[in-house]
Amino acid sequence: MSGNRITVTSALPYIHGVPHLGNMAGSVLPAELLHRYFDVRGKDSIFICGGDVHGTPLELEALELEEDPQDIKDEKTRKVKEAYESLNVDFTIFSDTHSEYNRKQTHEMFEELYCNGLIDEKTQIMPYCRDDERFLPDRYIEGECPHCGGLARGDQCDDCGKLVEPTEIENAECQICGGSRIEFEETDHLFLDLTKFDDELKEWLEEEKPVPENMLNQVRHDIEEAEERSITRDQNWGFEVPTERVNKRIDEENLELEKLDPEKYDEKVLYVWFDAPIGYIGFTREYFEEYRSNKKNASSSGSADEKWKKHWDTEG
């Protein structure tokens, strides 16, 4: 929120399964109420939202049904949108995180982070299914939790909530073929270094007071605990790693950075954890560039691209 322009949003509904009243009451309804309140007050407010569509469950479902994840995503996003609209939720835009606009936004931000030295490549040891001849990231592997014997999925136990190393999972099963011919192999991934933002974030917290007092300690704690987080996965469903544009910029600006190996990253995608929060910006951009620019009086001042930047970036 900046000056008289207000962007309202809610947690992005996860597009897997049918939305229930809890999603509506817990996140979308409060945002809808706020949006309507601003409308009544005559404020320039938009309500942007969309489906969170990347991630393991949708890809697993597509593999099981032998369908294109894109088709499943389209169908489910449509249903979720219709369900909310049947309850009279007045989204200004409801998109999804696989949209072209979010791709553009995500790739721009990736390039900026990489070219500023904030993304590093590291080698990880990950489970690999010999029968499917592929890595098994996140929930692609399930088995017994080494701590409580409950159901461990990927790197977490659903029963005791503890973090689990995939190598520690007992009787591990591949969620694609159901087999257990699982080995652990090395694979390279890209990590976003969150530790480099500590000081700026803490300063911003003190000066701008963007969070309520009772949340402050939690946020401070999260900043202190922040570490390097991997933002790529050995998967097919997701946004491609933009190797070409990054390498081009490294050349053009003579940056002292390692280039990204296109062949290696061809087999990987950006992790949902990276592109989903960028969705809020991507949807706002989509609204301004796609919809508002088509309206009659949109040509009053500046291009659609300038308008979205003005809405999102500038003070006043």
Contacting Zn ion (CB under 5 A), which of 78, 79, 139, 147? 147
CB of 153 to Zn ion, least distance (A): 10
Cβ neighbours around 315 below 10 Å, total: 5
The DSSP call for residue 206 is H
Q: Does 126 bind Zn ion (CB under 5 A)?
A: no
CB of 162 to Zn ion, least distance (A): 5
CB of 132 to Zn ion, least distance (A): 4
Q: In this chain, which stretch among 172-180, 219-227, 259-267, 282-290 interacts with Zn ion, using CB under 5 A?
A: 172-180
What are residue 144's DSSP bridge partners? 151, 170
Residue 88: which of 39, 33, 9 has the closest Cα? 33
**CA 133 centroid distance within chain:** 27
Residue 139: which of 215, 55, 195, 72 has the closest Cα? 55
Q: Does 130 bind Zn ion (CB under 5 A)?
A: no
Q: What whole-number distance in Å separates Cα of residue 184 and Cα of residue 128?
A: 6
CB of 225 to Zn ion, least distance (A): 21
Q: What whole-number distance in Å separates Cα of residue 221 and Cα of residue 10?
A: 23
Q: Does 129 bind Zn ion (CB under 5 A)?
A: yes
CB of 54 to Zn ion, least distance (A): 21
Which runs of consecutive H residues, i.e. helices, occur in 180-229? 198-208, 213-225
Q: Does 145 bind Zn ion (CB under 5 A)?
A: yes
Q: Does 158 bind Zn ion (CB under 5 A)?
A: no
What sign does the dihedral 217-223-224-227 (CA atoms) show? positive
Contacting Zn ion (CB under 5 A), which of 31, 72, 93, 174? 174
Q: Does 11 bind Zn ion (CB under 5 A)?
A: no
Q: In this chain, which stretch among 46-54, 175-183, 227-235, 237-245 interacts with Zn ion, using CB under 5 A?
A: 175-183
Radius of gyration for the chain, computed over Cα atoms and rounded to the nearest angstrom: 21
Question: Toward Zn ion, which CB reaches closer, 22 or 178?
Answer: 178
Binding site for Zn ion (CB under 5 A): 129, 131-132, 145, 147-148, 150, 157, 159-160, 174, 176-177, 179
